[in-house]
Amino acid sequence: MKRQLATLVLLGLTTPIAAQWLTLPTPGIPRTADGEADLTAPTPRTADGRPDLSGLWVPVDFAGDLFDPTRVKEWARTLMNEREARFWADNPSFLCLPSGPGYLTRGSTSGGARRIVQSPSMIVFLYSDMIYRQVFMDGRELEPAPFPTWMGYAVGRWAGDTLIVESNGYNDKTWLHRRGLAHTEDLRITERYTRPDFGHLRLEIAYEDPGTFDEPLQAVLEMQLDADNELLESVCNEASKGRSHWGGAITDALDRAVEVAPEILADYVGTYTGYWSGRPFALEIALEDGALLMQRDGVENEQRNGTERLRLIPRSETTFDCSCGWGYTFTRGDDGTVTGLDEVHVSGAWPFTRELQ
């Protein structure tokens, strides 16, 4: 429990809270008859006729093979397993460091909101942890070997209504996603942005890094305009000291695991729905080879291909440690039927209701 509390505290200190208190509507945007933002209105355009990508965007869906561990070289898979075993203690964001290319696929529940500011000569991406990214639109070519930095070097151009961004020059201190996929300084990324209407933005990403994977990996992120909301700052400070209290490993939890009858574990299998940072979210619980596995639905689910799921390690008949660092407690009704589960965070228990089968 002490180890898990330390994990929860660090997660809490590095995760922004949604701006639920704001009441000022976004001015100058199309709205429906009931006053809501009209997300299906035509694509806005700049004075030169280009699609205007400006706005606050949040991810709502994800696809691709970026999170498939079978697509990466053995050294990268081994490192991912080692990082999971330490509950991702060296995640750059937990250390108050920039996430670099990891910002691209951050989910809506992990600081994935981003504001795009567009001008003819430069496009800027702003993130809640006060990190920014510049994309030069002045016609320059991508540097062949720029000095490695956290956020890399990026240039963009238009191909019809699609914005194409090419980037390189990333240092090797960042992760490609929060499950700990490393990369080398040879990483090169190509992004394609299309805005089909007012409220939606599609991002297609291709990753090339011969030192980490044999063939390019792909990711597709669907984003939605977060109208009537603002990007709140998330100041990271205490995590730099809190890491000294980050102890334990998955092997410790496995050593303390208790035996739970198979019929009890089977009772927990199912779909649990709730809200994560104000957005619908689902947890899928499965029983395989006598162990509970969890798949987190939504953008944050990095195992969408089903190639890998999170382990639930029993501390009691109802309480489980997760390889993700959080705790889970199943709840039953008066008749003994499993009715839901609580996901334990530093902010308290986040309830999920079991769907009727």
pLDDT in tens, 307-338: 457 889 999 999 998 877 788 999 999 999 99
Domain spans, the chain: 2-225, 249-354
Please say if the pLDDT value at position 248 is more than 70: no
Distance CA 266, CA 273 (A): 18
- CA dihedral sign of residues 47, 58, 8, 182: negative
The pLDDT of residue 22 is: 61
User: What are 211-221's pLDDT values in tens digits?
Assistant: 999 999 999 99
The pLDDT of residue 346 is: 66
> Per this entry, what is the length of the chain?
357
Please say if the pLDDT value at position 354 is more than 90: yes
The pLDDT of residue 281 is: 81
- pTM of the predicted model as reported, rounded to 2 decimal places: 0.76
More reliable by pLDDT, 184 or 96: 184
Please say if the pLDDT value at position 109 is more than 60: no
User: What are 149-170's pLDDT values in tens digits?
Assistant: 999 999 999 999 999 999 999 9
The pLDDT of residue 57 is: 96
| 249-354 topology per CATH | Lipocalin (2.40.128)
Please say if the pLDDT value at position 105 is more than 70: yes
The pLDDT of residue 192 is: 99
| DSSP class of 239 | H
Structure tokens given for 296: 């987190």
